[in-house]
Homo-oligomer: A and B are copies of this chain.
Amino acid sequence: MNSSQFREASHAAIEEIIQYYDTLASRPVLSTVSPGYLRPLLPNGPPQTGESWPAIQSDIERVIMPGLTHWQSPNFMAFFPASSTFPSMLGEMYSAAFTAPAFNWLCSPAVTELETVVLDWLAGLFALPECYLSKGEGGGVIQGSASEAVVTVMVAARERIVQRRCGHMEDGEEKEQKMGEERIKLVALGGEHSHSSVQKAANIAGVRFRSVPAPKSSGFRVTAQSLRQKIEECKSKGIEPFFMGLTLGTTNTCAVDEFEEIVAVAKDYPDIWIHVDAAYAGAALALPEYQYLAAPLAAFDSFNTNMHKWLLTNFDASVLWVKQRRSLTDALSITPSYLRNEFSDSGLVTDYRDWQIPLGRRFRALKIWFVLRTYGVDGIQAHLRNTIKLGELFHSLVVSRPDLFTVVAGPAFALTVLTVNPEKRGAARGARVTPASSPDPNHEAYLNDFTSDAESQYLANANAVTKEVYERINSGGEFFLTSTTMEGIFTIRVVSANPMAEEKYLRRVFDVLVETAEGVLAARERGK
Protein backbone atom coordinates (compact mmCIF):
# COMPACT_ATOMS: atom_id res chain seq x y z
CA MET A 1 0.00 0.00 0.00
CA ASN A 2 1.67 3.18 -1.15
CA SER A 3 1.02 6.74 0.06
CA SER A 4 -1.76 7.49 -2.35
CA GLN A 5 -3.46 4.16 -1.76
CA PHE A 6 -3.21 4.87 1.96
CA ARG A 7 -4.76 8.31 1.47
CA GLU A 8 -7.68 6.77 -0.37
CA ALA A 9 -8.04 3.89 2.07
CA SER A 10 -7.90 6.09 5.14
CA HIS A 11 -10.45 8.53 3.75
CA ALA A 12 -12.78 5.61 3.14
CA ALA A 13 -12.10 4.30 6.65
CA ILE A 14 -12.79 7.74 8.15
CA GLU A 15 -16.12 7.91 6.33
CA GLU A 16 -17.05 4.48 7.66
CA ILE A 17 -16.09 5.52 11.20
CA ILE A 18 -18.09 8.76 10.95
CA GLN A 19 -21.06 6.89 9.60
CA TYR A 20 -20.69 4.38 12.43
CA TYR A 21 -20.73 7.12 15.08
CA ASP A 22 -23.60 8.93 13.40
CA THR A 23 -25.73 5.79 13.48
CA LEU A 24 -24.62 4.36 16.80
CA ALA A 25 -27.83 5.26 18.60
CA SER A 26 -29.96 3.34 16.13
CA ARG A 27 -27.94 0.11 16.18
CA PRO A 28 -28.89 -2.78 18.49
CA VAL A 29 -26.34 -2.19 21.22
CA LEU A 30 -25.55 -5.81 21.93
CA SER A 31 -24.31 -8.18 19.27
CA THR A 32 -26.66 -11.07 18.64
CA VAL A 33 -24.17 -13.48 17.10
CA SER A 34 -23.67 -16.95 18.54
CA PRO A 35 -20.32 -18.24 19.70
CA GLY A 36 -18.27 -19.35 16.72
CA TYR A 37 -20.07 -17.06 14.24
CA LEU A 38 -16.93 -15.63 12.69
CA ARG A 39 -14.76 -18.52 11.58
CA PRO A 40 -17.12 -19.74 8.82
CA LEU A 41 -17.11 -16.23 7.35
CA LEU A 42 -13.35 -16.31 6.69
CA PRO A 43 -10.95 -18.50 4.72
CA ASN A 44 -8.67 -20.95 6.52
CA GLY A 45 -5.59 -18.82 6.27
CA PRO A 46 -4.15 -15.59 4.96
CA PRO A 47 -4.30 -15.06 1.18
CA GLN A 48 -1.26 -16.07 -0.85
CA THR A 49 -1.13 -12.73 -2.64
CA GLY A 50 -2.10 -9.37 -1.21
CA GLU A 51 -5.62 -7.99 -1.43
CA SER A 52 -6.76 -4.47 -2.17
CA TRP A 53 -8.19 -2.19 0.50
CA PRO A 54 -11.75 -2.17 -0.87
CA ALA A 55 -11.85 -5.98 -0.58
CA ILE A 56 -10.58 -5.80 3.00
CA GLN A 57 -12.76 -2.88 4.03
CA SER A 58 -15.94 -4.53 2.82
CA ASP A 59 -15.34 -7.29 5.35
CA ILE A 60 -15.68 -4.81 8.21
CA GLU A 61 -19.38 -4.58 7.52
CA ARG A 62 -19.79 -8.25 6.64
CA VAL A 63 -17.63 -9.93 9.28
CA ILE A 64 -16.84 -7.50 12.10
CA MET A 65 -19.88 -5.27 12.52
CA PRO A 66 -22.32 -8.09 13.40
CA GLY A 67 -20.02 -9.17 16.20
CA LEU A 68 -19.51 -5.78 17.83
CA THR A 69 -20.99 -4.69 21.10
CA HIS A 70 -21.36 -0.94 20.73
CA TRP A 71 -19.77 0.51 23.86
CA GLN A 72 -20.08 4.06 22.52
CA SER A 73 -23.80 3.76 21.94
CA PRO A 74 -25.89 5.97 24.24
CA ASN A 75 -27.91 2.81 24.92
CA PHE A 76 -24.88 1.12 26.43
CA MET A 77 -25.43 1.51 30.18
CA ALA A 78 -23.59 -1.61 31.28
CA PHE A 79 -20.32 -2.08 33.25
CA PHE A 80 -18.66 1.33 33.10
CA PRO A 81 -18.35 3.15 29.80
CA ALA A 82 -15.42 2.82 27.40
CA SER A 83 -15.18 6.23 25.82
CA SER A 84 -13.79 6.93 22.46
CA THR A 85 -13.84 10.37 20.93
CA PHE A 86 -12.58 11.89 17.70
CA PRO A 87 -9.53 13.70 19.16
CA SER A 88 -8.55 10.50 20.91
CA MET A 89 -8.68 8.62 17.59
CA LEU A 90 -6.42 11.24 16.06
CA GLY A 91 -3.99 10.52 18.86
CA GLU A 92 -4.01 6.83 17.97
CA MET A 93 -3.34 7.63 14.33
CA TYR A 94 -0.21 9.60 15.14
CA SER A 95 0.84 7.11 17.75
CA ALA A 96 0.72 4.30 15.18
CA ALA A 97 2.59 6.43 12.64
CA PHE A 98 5.33 7.33 15.12
CA THR A 99 5.59 3.77 16.42
CA ALA A 100 8.46 3.27 18.82
CA PRO A 101 8.67 0.79 21.65
CA ALA A 102 9.84 3.78 23.71
CA PHE A 103 11.23 1.70 26.56
CA ASN A 104 13.72 4.39 27.48
CA TRP A 105 14.07 8.12 27.00
CA LEU A 106 16.48 7.86 24.06
CA CYS A 107 14.04 5.62 22.17
CA SER A 108 11.98 8.70 21.44
CA PRO A 109 12.34 11.53 23.95
CA ALA A 110 8.97 13.08 23.04
CA VAL A 111 7.13 9.94 24.16
CA THR A 112 8.62 10.09 27.64
CA GLU A 113 8.57 13.84 28.08
CA LEU A 114 5.02 14.42 26.89
CA GLU A 115 3.90 11.66 29.24
CA THR A 116 5.55 13.33 32.23
CA VAL A 117 4.04 16.71 31.36
CA VAL A 118 0.56 15.38 30.66
CA LEU A 119 0.54 13.34 33.87
CA ASP A 120 1.50 16.48 35.81
CA TRP A 121 -1.34 18.34 34.05
CA LEU A 122 -3.76 15.61 35.07
CA ALA A 123 -2.47 15.57 38.65
CA GLY A 124 -3.32 19.28 38.73
CA LEU A 125 -6.72 18.72 37.15
CA PHE A 126 -7.51 16.06 39.77
CA ALA A 127 -6.07 18.17 42.63
CA LEU A 128 -3.79 15.32 43.65
CA PRO A 129 -1.51 16.17 46.58
CA GLU A 130 1.85 17.70 45.54
CA CYS A 131 3.75 14.54 46.46
CA TYR A 132 2.45 12.90 43.28
CA LEU A 133 4.01 15.46 40.96
CA SER A 134 7.15 14.61 39.01
CA LYS A 135 9.08 17.57 40.42
CA GLY A 136 9.39 15.77 43.77
CA GLU A 137 9.92 12.11 44.50
CA GLY A 138 6.71 10.91 42.92
CA GLY A 139 5.29 10.97 39.44
CA GLY A 140 2.80 9.51 37.03
CA VAL A 141 2.93 6.90 34.30
CA ILE A 142 0.47 5.63 31.71
CA GLN A 143 -0.36 1.97 32.11
CA GLY A 144 -2.52 -0.17 29.87
CA SER A 145 -5.20 -0.87 32.43
CA ALA A 146 -6.07 -0.57 36.09
CA SER A 147 -5.25 -4.26 36.48
CA GLU A 148 -1.71 -3.72 35.22
CA ALA A 149 -1.42 -0.75 37.55
CA VAL A 150 -2.39 -2.78 40.57
CA VAL A 151 0.04 -5.62 39.77
CA THR A 152 2.78 -3.06 39.27
CA VAL A 153 2.28 -1.32 42.60
CA MET A 154 1.70 -4.59 44.43
CA VAL A 155 5.04 -5.94 43.24
CA ALA A 156 6.68 -2.65 44.28
CA ALA A 157 4.99 -2.91 47.68
CA ARG A 158 6.09 -6.54 48.09
CA GLU A 159 9.69 -5.71 47.31
CA ARG A 160 9.59 -2.61 49.52
CA ILE A 161 8.69 -4.59 52.61
CA VAL A 162 11.05 -7.44 51.74
CA GLN A 163 13.89 -4.94 51.35
CA ARG A 164 12.99 -3.33 54.65
CA ARG A 165 13.37 -6.75 56.27
CA CYS A 166 16.39 -7.97 54.33
CA GLY A 167 18.10 -4.90 52.94
CA HIS A 168 20.85 -5.06 55.54
CA MET A 169 21.97 -8.52 54.40
CA GLU A 170 24.71 -9.12 51.89
CA ASP A 171 23.59 -10.25 48.46
CA GLY A 172 23.75 -13.98 48.02
CA GLU A 173 21.89 -17.21 48.51
CA GLU A 174 21.29 -16.63 52.18
CA LYS A 175 19.61 -13.31 51.53
CA GLU A 176 17.62 -14.84 48.71
CA GLN A 177 16.35 -17.54 51.05
CA LYS A 178 15.44 -14.98 53.71
CA MET A 179 13.64 -12.85 51.12
CA GLY A 180 11.62 -15.90 50.08
CA GLU A 181 10.72 -16.59 53.69
CA GLU A 182 9.56 -13.01 54.13
CA ARG A 183 7.49 -13.20 50.96
CA ILE A 184 5.49 -16.23 52.03
CA LYS A 185 4.24 -14.40 55.10
CA LEU A 186 2.85 -11.57 53.05
CA VAL A 187 -0.82 -10.96 52.49
CA ALA A 188 -2.40 -8.41 50.18
CA LEU A 189 -5.70 -6.94 51.32
CA GLY A 190 -8.52 -5.66 49.19
CA GLY A 191 -11.99 -4.44 50.03
CA GLU A 192 -14.84 -6.89 49.69
CA HIS A 193 -16.00 -4.84 46.71
CA SER A 194 -12.58 -3.98 45.36
CA HIS A 195 -12.15 -4.93 41.76
CA SER A 196 -11.21 -8.55 41.11
CA SER A 197 -7.92 -7.32 39.70
CA VAL A 198 -6.61 -6.86 43.26
CA GLN A 199 -6.99 -10.56 43.94
CA LYS A 200 -5.63 -11.40 40.51
CA ALA A 201 -2.60 -9.20 41.22
CA ALA A 202 -2.00 -11.15 44.43
CA ASN A 203 -2.09 -14.39 42.42
CA ILE A 204 0.41 -12.96 39.95
CA ALA A 205 2.69 -11.62 42.69
CA GLY A 206 2.45 -15.00 44.43
CA VAL A 207 1.15 -13.69 47.75
CA ARG A 208 -1.87 -14.43 49.88
CA PHE A 209 -5.04 -12.38 49.58
CA ARG A 210 -7.65 -11.47 52.18
CA SER A 211 -10.82 -9.53 51.67
CA VAL A 212 -11.76 -6.71 54.05
CA PRO A 213 -15.50 -6.71 54.74
CA ALA A 214 -17.51 -3.82 53.31
CA PRO A 215 -21.04 -4.82 54.16
CA LYS A 216 -24.36 -3.30 53.20
CA SER A 217 -24.54 -1.75 56.66
CA SER A 218 -21.50 0.41 55.89
CA GLY A 219 -22.80 1.30 52.44
CA PHE A 220 -20.50 -1.31 50.86
CA ARG A 221 -17.52 0.83 51.94
CA VAL A 222 -14.37 -0.34 53.66
CA THR A 223 -14.28 1.41 57.02
CA ALA A 224 -11.16 2.22 59.01
CA GLN A 225 -12.40 -0.09 61.72
CA SER A 226 -12.95 -2.98 59.37
CA LEU A 227 -9.49 -2.53 57.85
CA ARG A 228 -7.79 -2.29 61.23
CA GLN A 229 -9.56 -5.40 62.41
CA LYS A 230 -8.48 -7.39 59.36
CA ILE A 231 -4.88 -6.23 59.71
CA GLU A 232 -4.78 -7.33 63.34
CA GLU A 233 -6.47 -10.61 62.51
CA CYS A 234 -3.79 -11.36 59.93
CA LYS A 235 -0.98 -10.38 62.26
CA SER A 236 -2.36 -12.58 64.99
CA LYS A 237 -2.09 -15.51 62.59
CA GLY A 238 1.51 -14.69 61.74
CA ILE A 239 0.84 -13.34 58.27
CA GLU A 240 1.81 -9.86 57.32
CA PRO A 241 -0.38 -7.35 55.46
CA PHE A 242 1.80 -5.31 53.10
CA PHE A 243 -0.75 -3.92 50.63
CA MET A 244 -4.28 -2.59 50.79
CA GLY A 245 -6.38 -1.84 47.74
CA LEU A 246 -8.90 0.87 48.52
CA THR A 247 -11.53 1.90 46.01
CA LEU A 248 -12.92 5.23 44.90
CA GLY A 249 -16.06 4.03 43.13
CA THR A 250 -16.48 0.28 43.38
CA THR A 251 -17.72 -1.60 40.34
CA ASN A 252 -20.83 -2.80 42.11
CA THR A 253 -22.15 0.44 43.59
CA CYS A 254 -19.54 3.19 43.12
CA ALA A 255 -18.94 3.18 46.86
CA VAL A 256 -15.99 5.18 48.15
CA ASP A 257 -14.05 3.64 51.01
CA GLU A 258 -13.64 5.66 54.22
CA PHE A 259 -10.53 7.51 53.04
CA GLU A 260 -10.33 10.20 55.70
CA GLU A 261 -10.58 7.75 58.57
CA ILE A 262 -8.15 5.33 56.91
CA VAL A 263 -5.42 8.00 56.91
CA ALA A 264 -4.83 7.17 60.57
CA VAL A 265 -4.58 3.47 59.76
CA ALA A 266 -1.97 4.25 57.12
CA LYS A 267 0.08 6.10 59.71
CA ASP A 268 -0.14 3.25 62.18
CA TYR A 269 1.01 0.66 59.65
CA PRO A 270 3.72 2.27 57.51
CA ASP A 271 4.69 -1.09 55.98
CA ILE A 272 1.34 -1.35 54.26
CA TRP A 273 1.28 0.19 50.79
CA ILE A 274 -2.11 1.79 50.27
CA HIS A 275 -3.27 1.95 46.69
CA VAL A 276 -6.42 3.74 45.58
CA ASP A 277 -8.15 2.21 42.60
CA ALA A 278 -10.35 4.94 41.13
CA ALA A 279 -10.50 3.30 37.72
CA TYR A 280 -13.87 4.74 36.85
CA ALA A 281 -14.93 7.37 39.39
CA GLY A 282 -11.53 9.01 39.70
CA ALA A 283 -12.56 11.14 36.75
CA ALA A 284 -14.88 13.07 39.07
CA LEU A 285 -11.84 14.57 40.77
CA ALA A 286 -11.73 16.94 37.81
CA LEU A 287 -14.73 18.61 39.48
CA PRO A 288 -13.93 20.90 42.44
CA GLU A 289 -16.98 19.57 44.30
CA TYR A 290 -15.34 16.11 44.49
CA GLN A 291 -11.77 17.17 45.17
CA TYR A 292 -12.10 16.74 48.92
CA LEU A 293 -11.65 13.05 48.06
CA ALA A 294 -8.11 13.72 46.83
CA ALA A 295 -6.69 15.21 50.03
CA PRO A 296 -6.33 11.90 51.95
CA LEU A 297 -4.20 10.53 49.10
CA ALA A 298 -1.26 12.37 50.64
CA ALA A 299 -1.19 9.65 53.28
CA PHE A 300 -1.41 6.81 50.77
CA ASP A 301 1.11 5.44 48.25
CA SER A 302 -0.49 5.31 44.83
CA PHE A 303 -3.55 6.33 42.86
CA ASN A 304 -4.93 5.14 39.55
CA THR A 305 -7.76 6.13 37.25
CA ASN A 306 -8.68 5.21 33.69
CA MET A 307 -8.93 7.94 31.08
CA HIS A 308 -10.52 5.24 28.94
CA LYS A 309 -13.62 4.94 31.04
CA TRP A 310 -15.25 8.26 31.80
CA LEU A 311 -12.62 10.62 30.40
CA LEU A 312 -13.20 10.65 26.66
CA THR A 313 -10.05 8.74 25.72
CA ASN A 314 -10.12 5.40 23.98
CA PHE A 315 -8.73 2.28 25.60
CA ASP A 316 -5.91 1.99 26.72
CA ALA A 317 -4.98 4.93 28.92
CA SER A 318 -4.82 4.11 32.60
CA VAL A 319 -3.00 6.77 34.59
CA LEU A 320 -1.11 5.80 37.72
CA TRP A 321 0.70 8.00 40.23
CA VAL A 322 3.05 6.91 42.96
CA LYS A 323 4.42 8.92 45.85
CA GLN A 324 7.88 7.37 45.62
CA ARG A 325 8.89 6.55 42.08
CA ARG A 326 11.94 4.79 43.53
CA SER A 327 9.70 2.05 44.85
CA LEU A 328 8.85 1.16 41.26
CA THR A 329 12.34 1.35 39.85
CA ASP A 330 13.82 -0.55 42.81
CA ALA A 331 11.47 -3.44 42.10
CA LEU A 332 11.40 -3.38 38.30
CA SER A 333 14.68 -2.05 36.95
CA ILE A 334 17.04 -4.36 35.09
CA THR A 335 19.53 -2.81 32.69
CA PRO A 336 21.35 -5.16 30.37
CA SER A 337 24.16 -3.93 28.19
CA TYR A 338 22.01 -3.38 25.09
CA LEU A 339 19.71 -1.01 26.97
CA ARG A 340 22.44 1.19 28.41
CA ASN A 341 22.99 4.71 27.12
CA GLU A 342 24.54 7.90 28.40
CA PHE A 343 21.19 9.56 29.10
CA SER A 344 19.81 6.74 31.22
CA ASP A 345 23.14 6.36 32.97
CA SER A 346 23.17 10.06 33.81
CA GLY A 347 19.96 9.70 35.81
CA LEU A 348 18.61 12.87 34.22
CA VAL A 349 15.90 11.15 32.26
CA THR A 350 12.97 8.92 33.07
CA ASP A 351 13.01 5.40 31.64
CA TYR A 352 9.38 4.42 32.01
CA ARG A 353 10.14 0.76 31.35
CA ASP A 354 11.18 0.64 35.01
CA TRP A 355 7.75 1.90 36.07
CA GLN A 356 5.80 -0.92 34.49
CA ILE A 357 5.70 -4.63 33.69
CA PRO A 358 6.28 -4.48 29.91
CA LEU A 359 9.48 -3.21 28.37
CA GLY A 360 7.98 -1.48 25.35
CA ARG A 361 5.22 1.09 25.43
CA ARG A 362 3.06 3.04 23.01
CA PHE A 363 2.85 6.81 22.62
CA ARG A 364 -0.35 7.09 24.62
CA ALA A 365 0.27 10.56 25.99
CA LEU A 366 -0.62 11.98 22.57
CA LYS A 367 -4.27 11.02 22.70
CA ILE A 368 -4.63 12.29 26.27
CA TRP A 369 -3.01 15.57 25.22
CA PHE A 370 -5.37 15.88 22.25
CA VAL A 371 -8.41 15.18 24.42
CA LEU A 372 -7.41 17.65 27.13
CA ARG A 373 -6.79 20.37 24.58
CA THR A 374 -9.85 19.72 22.44
CA TYR A 375 -12.27 19.70 25.35
CA GLY A 376 -10.41 22.02 27.70
CA VAL A 377 -11.08 21.92 31.42
CA ASP A 378 -14.52 23.42 30.83
CA GLY A 379 -15.50 20.78 28.32
CA ILE A 380 -14.35 17.93 30.51
CA GLN A 381 -16.18 19.31 33.53
CA ALA A 382 -19.32 19.87 31.48
CA HIS A 383 -19.22 16.25 30.30
CA LEU A 384 -18.80 14.92 33.84
CA ARG A 385 -21.49 17.16 35.35
CA ASN A 386 -23.90 16.35 32.55
CA THR A 387 -23.55 12.61 32.97
CA ILE A 388 -23.76 12.82 36.78
CA LYS A 389 -26.93 14.88 36.40
CA LEU A 390 -28.39 12.31 34.03
CA GLY A 391 -27.68 9.66 36.66
CA GLU A 392 -29.56 11.73 39.21
CA LEU A 393 -32.44 12.16 36.83
CA PHE A 394 -32.60 8.42 36.25
CA HIS A 395 -32.50 7.82 39.99
CA SER A 396 -35.34 10.25 40.54
CA LEU A 397 -37.40 8.41 37.94
CA VAL A 398 -36.78 5.14 39.75
CA VAL A 399 -37.82 6.48 43.13
CA SER A 400 -40.93 7.94 41.55
CA ARG A 401 -42.11 4.34 41.14
CA PRO A 402 -41.71 2.80 44.59
CA ASP A 403 -44.42 0.35 43.61
CA LEU A 404 -42.04 -1.26 41.12
CA PHE A 405 -38.44 -0.54 42.08
CA THR A 406 -36.15 -0.29 45.04
CA VAL A 407 -32.86 1.56 44.86
CA VAL A 408 -30.07 -0.44 46.50
CA ALA A 409 -27.35 2.13 45.87
CA GLY A 410 -26.81 5.44 44.16
CA PRO A 411 -27.12 7.76 42.49
CA ALA A 412 -23.33 7.87 42.67
CA PHE A 413 -21.07 8.97 39.85
CA ALA A 414 -23.83 8.39 37.28
CA LEU A 415 -24.62 4.89 38.57
CA THR A 416 -27.89 3.68 40.09
CA VAL A 417 -28.28 0.13 41.38
CA LEU A 418 -31.79 -1.18 41.71
CA THR A 419 -34.00 -4.19 42.16
CA VAL A 420 -37.50 -4.84 40.95
CA ASN A 421 -40.02 -5.42 43.71
CA PRO A 422 -41.30 -9.00 43.79
CA GLU A 423 -44.84 -7.74 43.66
CA LYS A 424 -46.39 -4.42 42.84
CA ARG A 425 -46.84 -2.31 45.93
CA GLY A 426 -50.11 -0.40 46.07
CA ALA A 427 -50.81 2.05 43.31
CA ALA A 428 -48.11 3.83 41.43
CA ARG A 429 -47.57 7.34 42.57
CA GLY A 430 -47.90 8.46 39.00
CA ALA A 431 -45.20 9.94 36.90
CA ARG A 432 -44.32 12.70 39.35
CA VAL A 433 -40.58 12.89 39.51
CA THR A 434 -39.14 13.45 42.97
CA PRO A 435 -36.03 15.59 43.40
CA ALA A 436 -32.75 13.81 42.82
CA SER A 437 -31.79 13.84 46.45
CA SER A 438 -35.01 12.27 47.65
CA PRO A 439 -34.31 8.95 49.34
CA ASP A 440 -35.93 5.81 48.10
CA PRO A 441 -38.76 4.93 50.48
CA ASN A 442 -38.12 1.23 49.88
CA HIS A 443 -34.39 1.36 50.44
CA GLU A 444 -34.49 0.44 54.12
CA ALA A 445 -36.04 -2.93 53.21
CA TYR A 446 -32.60 -3.83 51.84
CA LEU A 447 -30.81 -2.90 55.02
CA ASN A 448 -32.17 -5.88 56.91
CA ASP A 449 -30.44 -9.22 56.89
CA PHE A 450 -32.97 -11.40 55.10
CA THR A 451 -32.62 -13.98 57.84
CA SER A 452 -36.22 -14.82 58.64
CA ASP A 453 -38.11 -17.20 56.38
CA ALA A 454 -40.37 -14.42 55.18
CA GLU A 455 -37.43 -12.18 54.43
CA SER A 456 -35.54 -14.80 52.54
CA GLN A 457 -38.64 -15.71 50.59
CA TYR A 458 -39.07 -12.05 49.74
CA LEU A 459 -35.47 -11.84 48.58
CA ALA A 460 -35.73 -14.99 46.49
CA ASN A 461 -38.79 -13.58 44.75
CA ALA A 462 -37.22 -10.17 44.25
CA ASN A 463 -34.13 -11.79 42.77
CA ALA A 464 -36.16 -13.95 40.40
CA VAL A 465 -38.21 -11.01 39.18
CA THR A 466 -35.22 -8.69 38.85
CA LYS A 467 -33.26 -11.29 36.95
CA GLU A 468 -36.12 -11.88 34.57
CA VAL A 469 -36.53 -8.17 33.91
CA TYR A 470 -32.78 -7.84 33.42
CA GLU A 471 -32.58 -10.70 30.95
CA ARG A 472 -35.61 -9.56 28.99
CA ILE A 473 -34.17 -6.08 28.57
CA ASN A 474 -30.77 -7.29 27.40
CA SER A 475 -32.26 -9.82 25.02
CA GLY A 476 -34.46 -7.04 23.62
CA GLY A 477 -31.33 -5.54 22.12
CA GLU A 478 -32.22 -1.88 22.63
CA PHE A 479 -30.20 -1.45 25.85
CA PHE A 480 -27.29 -3.19 27.46
CA LEU A 481 -27.31 -3.23 31.26
CA THR A 482 -25.26 -5.33 33.65
CA SER A 483 -26.25 -6.98 36.89
CA THR A 484 -24.40 -7.76 40.05
CA THR A 485 -25.12 -9.72 43.20
CA MET A 486 -24.21 -8.39 46.65
CA GLU A 487 -24.98 -10.19 49.87
CA GLY A 488 -27.36 -12.38 47.93
CA ILE A 489 -29.24 -9.46 46.37
CA PHE A 490 -29.46 -9.60 42.59
CA THR A 491 -29.40 -6.06 41.23
CA ILE A 492 -29.44 -4.16 37.95
CA ARG A 493 -26.86 -1.43 37.36
CA VAL A 494 -27.63 1.54 35.12
CA VAL A 495 -24.77 3.87 34.19
CA SER A 496 -25.21 7.15 32.31
CA ALA A 497 -21.57 8.20 31.87
CA ASN A 498 -21.34 7.67 28.13
CA PRO A 499 -20.13 10.66 26.06
CA MET A 500 -23.31 10.35 23.97
CA ALA A 501 -25.63 10.08 26.98
CA GLU A 502 -28.73 12.24 26.78
CA GLU A 503 -31.86 12.69 28.81
CA LYS A 504 -34.02 10.96 26.20
CA TYR A 505 -32.07 7.71 26.47
CA LEU A 506 -32.30 7.68 30.25
CA ARG A 507 -36.03 8.37 30.12
CA ARG A 508 -36.41 5.65 27.52
CA VAL A 509 -34.50 3.03 29.49
CA PHE A 510 -36.65 3.89 32.48
CA ASP A 511 -39.81 3.41 30.42
CA VAL A 512 -38.51 0.07 29.20
CA LEU A 513 -37.74 -0.94 32.78
CA VAL A 514 -41.26 0.01 33.86
CA GLU A 515 -42.85 -1.75 30.93
CA THR A 516 -40.78 -4.89 31.39
CA ALA A 517 -41.24 -4.97 35.15
CA GLU A 518 -44.99 -4.58 34.79
CA GLY A 519 -45.06 -7.32 32.20
CA VAL A 520 -43.08 -9.71 34.35
CA LEU A 521 -45.12 -8.95 37.47
CA ALA A 522 -48.43 -9.31 35.62
CA ALA A 523 -47.36 -12.66 34.18
CA ARG A 524 -46.38 -13.88 37.64
CA GLU A 525 -49.71 -12.66 38.99
CA ARG A 526 -51.55 -14.60 36.27
CA GLY A 527 -49.44 -17.65 36.95
CA LYS A 528 -50.41 -17.81 40.63
Contacts and interface: CB of A to CB of B under 8 A. Distances in A.
Interface in A477-525: 482-486, 493
A60 B47 CA distance: 37
Nearest to A237: B173
B203 A204 contact: no
A377 B105 CA distance: 36
A107 interface: yes
A70 to B, nearest CB: 8
Contact of A151 (B51, B116, B180, B204): B204
A35 B109 contact: yes
A36 B89 CA distance: 27
B71 A100 contact: yes
A239 to B, nearest CB: 9
A406 interface: no
A178 to B, nearest CB: 10
Given A184-B180, A206-B207, A35 B94 contact: no
Interface stretch (A296-304, A336-344, A397-405, A431-439): A336-344
B38 A114 contact: yes
Given A121-B45, A370-B56, A18 B38 contact: no
A151 B334 CA distance: 15
A48 interface: yes
Given A69-B109, A308-B99, A376-B49, A206 B158 contact: yes
A428 interface: no
A332 interface: yes
Given A10-B14, A50-B378, A100-B315, 15 more contacts: A9-B86, A35-B346, A37-B109, A44-B121, A45-B121, A47-B376, A64-B114, A84-B96, A93-B96, A145-B360, A147-B359, A159-B203, A196-B334, A196-B336, A338-B484
Q: List the 6 closest pairs (A to B, CB-CB), nearest first.
A: A67-B110, A180-B184, A38-B113, A84-B99, A6-B86, A50-B376
